[in-house]
Structure 1
Amino acid sequence: MKKICFVIPDGTGIRNYLYSELVEYLQHKNCEIILLHLVSTEAIEEIYSVHKTKFKSYRIPYYRESYFQKFLREAICYARLLNNTKITGNVTILTNWRPNKSSLIKKIFYRIVEIVGKYVSEKYKRILKFEDLYDNSLSKKCGSQKSLLKSINPDVIFSTHQRAINAVPLISAARQMGIVTVGAIFSWDNLPKARLTIRTNKYVVWSKYMKEELNLYYPEIKNNSIIITGTPQFEFYYNNKFILDKKVFYNKYKLDLSKKIICFSGDDELTSPFDSNYLGDLASEIQKEKLNIQILLRRAPVDVSGRFQSIISKYPDIIKEAPPLWNFDKGNTSNWEIIYPTYDDIELLVSTVSYCDAVINVGSTMAHDFAMFNKPAIYLNYNTINSKKWNIETIYQFQHFKSMEGLNPVLWVNSNKEIILVLNSLYENLNLDNNDWINSIAEHRKSASLNIANTLISCT
């Protein structure tokens, strides 16, 4: 029996890999699943409940990053962001550099990081040398990780996230011990951000497009180490068991069966700080024009700011809410070890896409979810207020939106005055390239779990 360890450093990868059919495929191939994690007991119990079985599970040993290791890691990140900016010609990549300079010591620390990072970025060989130095520093911190892996004796380790710092020594220990490691790229926008902290022997990616990105930003990674498998998160849309009965769904979220539904999907506050303004504009226009449309708000799972409440209260007949079914400590929403999606949230998300006519947001991945049911996405493309810290023009210059070039995959609202025009056009023949876009971004959407399972088995 082959032993395959899933590294779960936080809750973000649980839905895509631990709730998908990947586990069943591996079990069918007589593989033993072992969980190496830093998530809560409740999250592990949820995984057991989904698969109606218990797996061996171990907490990843505690890792305290030294100042020197943090310095190296941050300098490498800054150097790679500068390098990625240079090779793409896209200055928005540098918006991903957001160090915490809340104290004088941190300001000094990051000023030195930036000076060194700039020097390192000038030659790619320097970046690789710094990464070797970082790797070597980890080898002295892997004692407890090696002891754990020696006791388990796994055949392959699968890391569900590429940038969780707490998992870095574990993967480093596995490589030193000759255990095969496989890493997943979590999202379509991750690679330009220079946060491929976890380095593995092989990588499973969403598509040819993502493989080419990995080749571009990390030319040292061998081409045959990058396997196009797809990502399991889109498989749920092919399974009708995740679609609630229509009357049940409408009643649960107090929706009017006689009205059309537009889903407003919120981003986190950092990505889109003025989402409540956009929601207000949308509701105002619907009310003003007396459209037979209601809004279903799905906020970002970590957004517990309450910023939408005044808008919801102002338009109670228009805006209904379907809060994401995620578990987390409300007092600590920045801790991804605590935050995780429940299995029921898959049903809520798939049902939302099934019953809504379109989704509207600021550049959200939800455009791809709605494309699964061939439904349009509307991207908001105007500023609601003048802000020195944020503007909409920067958002759509982000590197991952370059995948839209040559396509017409979404509808655009360029001012609040265009909202009604776009909403009225929804039920016409739109001829959008939304399927072409998702085909480019995420291949093998029906067979990703099987593809990843086969990859993991073939690596052992």
Structure 2
Amino acid sequence: MKNKKIFILLPDGIGLRNFAFTSFVELGKQMDWEVIFWNHTPFDLQELGYKEIKLEGKPRAKTDLLKRAKIEVELNYFTRKFDDQVFQTYKFNNSKKGLKTRVKNILVSVYSKYNSGEKGLQLLRNKMQASERKGAFYLHCKQVLEREQPDFIFCTNQRPVTAIAPLTAAQDLKIPSGSFIFSWDNLPKATIVVQPDHYFVWSDHMKQELLNYYPFIGSEKIHVT
């Protein structure tokens, strides 16, 4: 029987610490998986004896602005839903230096204003995917997946905008995917920017938190590790 080919998506360096520098790959090999890192970091994993494919390119600038708006709207939504001002403290103060930065801030404010509430949040999530589909980075991701045909893509970090194009391309090609929620405080801080098929969390408590913040996900898609 053919071994399962698993892509471990590394959109940033956090995944290196949690999955490349641990026994994770060896556990996969014991299960007869072919483990390949899809690596967007500058680190050369071949030096560790791992298989890797470099993830080349970058997200569109518009996608990052939509992500910033999504976080702004989501924290406002959580504030109202849970009647707790603590969510406002998770916002970052945007720089106001330079004309380009000020224009970006205005665009984020516009996206936030016209996409408020639960329906607006889903629109922003869909707009991030739609934005990435228009870029060269998405096309590169899709070409790699069509060539390699992995059985599953495991995203090591749900936070970077870099992860949107690879996972969107996977979903468009009907390749199942999952994302690891790497820290206990990620959920209340509105850091989820990807929409995979499955979510991996630390505990039953974290699973319940994920359902509280994102009830549309569904319990069957959340796995306690």
Alignment of 1:159-170 (within 5 A): 159-170=155-166
Tell me what 2:51 maps to: 56
Change (3 A) 1:101 1:212: farther
SS at match of 1:10: coil
The one-letter amino acid of 1:69's match is: T
Q: Which has the higher contact order (CA 8 A, sep 6+)?
A: 2
Q: Distance in 1 between matches of 2:59 and 2:123?
A: 23
Structure 1 gap segments, 5+ residues each: 49-53, 230-460
Within the candidate set 97, 106, 115, 2:101 is matched to 106
Within the candidate set 15, 21, 25, 2:23 is matched to 21
Query: Do residues 153 (structure 1) and 155 (structure 2) align?
Result: no
Tell me what 1:71 maps to: 65
The one-letter amino acid of 1:211's match is: K
Give the TM-score taking structure 2 as reference length: 0.89
Within the candidate set 207, 220, 224, 2:203 is matched to 207
Report if the CA contact (8 A) 1:60-1:167 is conserved: no
SS at match of 2:191: coil
Report if the CA contact (8 A) 2:178-2:198 is conserved: yes
SS at match of 2:177: strand
Give the TM-score taking structure 1 as reference length: 0.45
Within the candidate set 12, 15, 31, 2:14 is matched to 12
Tell me what 2:178 maps to: 182
Report if the CA contact (8 A) 1:78-1:118 is conserved: no
The one-letter amino acid of 1:39's match is: T
Query: Do residues 34 (structure 1) and 32 (structure 2) align?
Result: no
Report if the CA contact (8 A) 1:4-1:155 is conserved: yes
Tell me what 1:191 maps to: 187
Q: Distance in 2 between matches of 1:24 and 1:206?
A: 20
Q: Distance in 1 between matches of 2:17 and 2:128?
A: 31
Q: Distance in 1 between matches of 2:96 and 2:115?
A: 21
SS at match of 2:115: helix
Tell me what 2:118 maps to: 124
Change (3 A) 1:64 1:205: closer
Q: Distance in 1 between matches of 2:6 and 2:81?
A: 37
The superposition leaves residues 156-179 of structure 1 with CA deviations (integer Å, 9 ceiling, x where unpaired) of 000100111222211110111111
1:36: Cα distance to partner?
0.5
The superposition leaves residues 254-280 of structure 1 with CA deviations (integer Å, 9 ceiling, x where unpaired) of xxxxxxxxxxxxxxxxxxxxxxxxxxx
SS at match of 2:205: helix
SS at match of 1:189: coil
SS at match of 1:41: coil
Query: In terms of Rg, which structure is larger?
Result: 1
1:191: Cα distance to partner?
0.9
1:111: Cα distance to partner?
3.5
1:119: Cα distance to partner?
4.3
SS at match of 1:193: coil
Q: Distance in 1 between matches of 2:57 and 2:103?
A: 28
Q: Distance in 2 between matches of 1:135 and 1:45?
A: 31
Q: Distance in 1 between matches of 2:68 and 2:176?
A: 27
Change (3 A) 1:182 1:84: same
Query: Number of paired residues?
Result: 220
Report if the CA contact (8 A) 1:201-1:225 is conserved: yes
Structure 2 gap segments, 5+ residues each: none
Consecutive aligned runs of 4 or more in structure 1 exceeding 4 Å deviation: none
Change (3 A) 1:116 1:170: closer
Q: Distance in 2 between matches of 1:58 and 1:117?
A: 36
Q: Distance in 2 between matches of 1:37 and 1:104?
A: 34
Alignment of 1:6-405 (within 5 A): 6-42=8-44, 44-45=45-46, 48=48, 54-66=49-61, 68-98=62-92, 99-121=94-116, 123-141=117-135, 142-229=138-225
% identity of equivalent residues:
30
The superposition leaves residues 33-92 of structure 1 with CA deviations (integer Å, 9 ceiling, x where unpaired) of 1011122235x256x2xxxxx2321111202413x3233222111111111222223323
Q: Distance in 2 between matches of 1:22 and 1:152?
A: 21
The one-letter amino acid of 1:36's match is: W
